[in-house]
Amino acid sequence: MSLRVTSRFSRPTTLRTRATVLAAGLGTSVALGAGVAAAVDTAAASSATSATTAAHAVEAQAAAQAKAAKAQAAEAAKAAEAKQAAQAAKAVQVKKAAQAAAKKQASWVDPVKNYKLSASFAQNGGMWASKHSGQDYAVPTGTPVLATNGGTVVKAGPNGAGDGPAYGNAVVIKHGNGTYSQYAHLSQVNVKIGQIVKTGQTIALSGNTGNSSGPHLHFEIRTTPNYGSAIDPMQFLRSKGAQA
């Protein structure tokens, strides 16, 4: 009798145990599945974030490289422009130097320094048979007289070097352009006929010889070596760049 009771109650207990185990297994499976799903979602989100970060990094790097390339190009353009400007400035300087050298070589100068202008060209007066034929420079006796331009001495000596006693001691120089310059009333003549002189070279000393009312230099520009062919010397010198 007792054996039957034990056997009757053991079967439902076994069934309940199995049911409990099955339910626990299903719960574990459900929980495990939920955990796996959550892990998958987290990994996906992390992967997406990483991809976005990488994309931003690539974009930032590309932008930085583009900016650096632009700056480098601008710097190169600026350097090229500066070089071109320097070359242009140098070319202008070379041109100016060449022009200055050419001008200096062909320039004319005043016949004396530290002077005061007195009687002028074509001025009337009792000192001359007709109008004044040159320009007078009031300077002390012994002032160096300069060749206003390079050329060859064609007249030199007393009696106006052949132009008459009114000029006193005188010198006439023929220049390369067919123009002649004359220097008169000299106290001393330092050149000879046929001598070649340079622009600014001392050719004589000023004085008071001939028809003169005081120490000065009488200066003429002529179209021939002889008296009577004079032109306005001041206008001529100014046209040649002399201070006059």
Residue 244 in any domain: the answer is no
Domain extent for 10: 1-106
Domain count of the chain? 2
Span 221-241, average pLDDT? 93
Contact 233, 220 (CB under 8 A): yes
From 65, 87, 106, the end of a domain falls on 106
Q: What is the dihedral of CA 47, 52, 58, 59, to 10 degrees?
A: 170
CB distance 135 to 126 below 8 Å: no
CA distance to 85, 92, 140, per residue, from 81 (Å): 6, 16, 58
Segment 232-238 mean pLDDT? 93
55-109 pLDDT, tens digit each: 777 778 888 888 888 888 888 888 888 888 888 888 888 877 666 655 555 589 9
Question: Which residue pairs from 122-127 have beta carbons closer than 8 angstroms and sit at least 24 positions apart in sequence?
Answer: 122/232, 127/211, 127/213
